[in-house]
């Protein structure tokens, strides 16, 4: 296998982290909305937890994207 082909395959596999981030963010917001509709009084108290979960999921996706870009352009 050529080196360039291996780099492209590795970068594609590293981008799979973006799929997980999308699923995680959808799950977080979907569950928050479901809970907020069941108990609207407690929804305002969960905004910090919601944003923390969103940030952690998004960071995972960005780390995967960063690894993919490093594979393509640095190594």
Instruction: Domain of residue 33: give its range.
Output: 10-73
pTM above 0.75, yes or no: yes
Q: What's the rounded mean pLDDT across residues 21-25? A: 91
Q: Is residue 45 part of a domain?
A: yes
For 28-54, write each residue's pLDDT tens digit.
Answer: 999 999 999 999 998 889 999 999 989
Q: Is residue 2 part of a domain?
A: no
- B/e letters for 29-46, b = 16+ CB within 10 Å, e = fewer, are eeebeeebeeeeeeeeee
Q: Is residue 5 part of a domain?
A: no
As for how many domains the chain has, the answer is: 1
Beta strands in 1-75, from DSSP E residues, in sequence order: none
Listed as own residue / partner, the contacts of 46-49 with beta carbons closer than 8 Å and 24 or more positions apart are none
pLDDT at 17 over 90: no
- In this prediction, residue 36 carries a pLDDT of 92
Here the CATH number for the domain that contains residue 31 is: 1.20.20.10
């Amino acid at each position: 296998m050529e080196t360039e082909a291996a780099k492209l395959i590795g970068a594609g596999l590293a981008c799979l982290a973006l799929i997980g981030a999308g699923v995680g963010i959808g799950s977080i917001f979907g569950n928050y909305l479901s809970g907020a509709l069941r108990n609207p009084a407690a929804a305002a108290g969960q905004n910090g937890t919601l944003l923390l979960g969103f940030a952690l999921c998004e960071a995972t996706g960005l780390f995967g994207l960063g690894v993919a870009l490093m594979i393509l352009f640095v190594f």
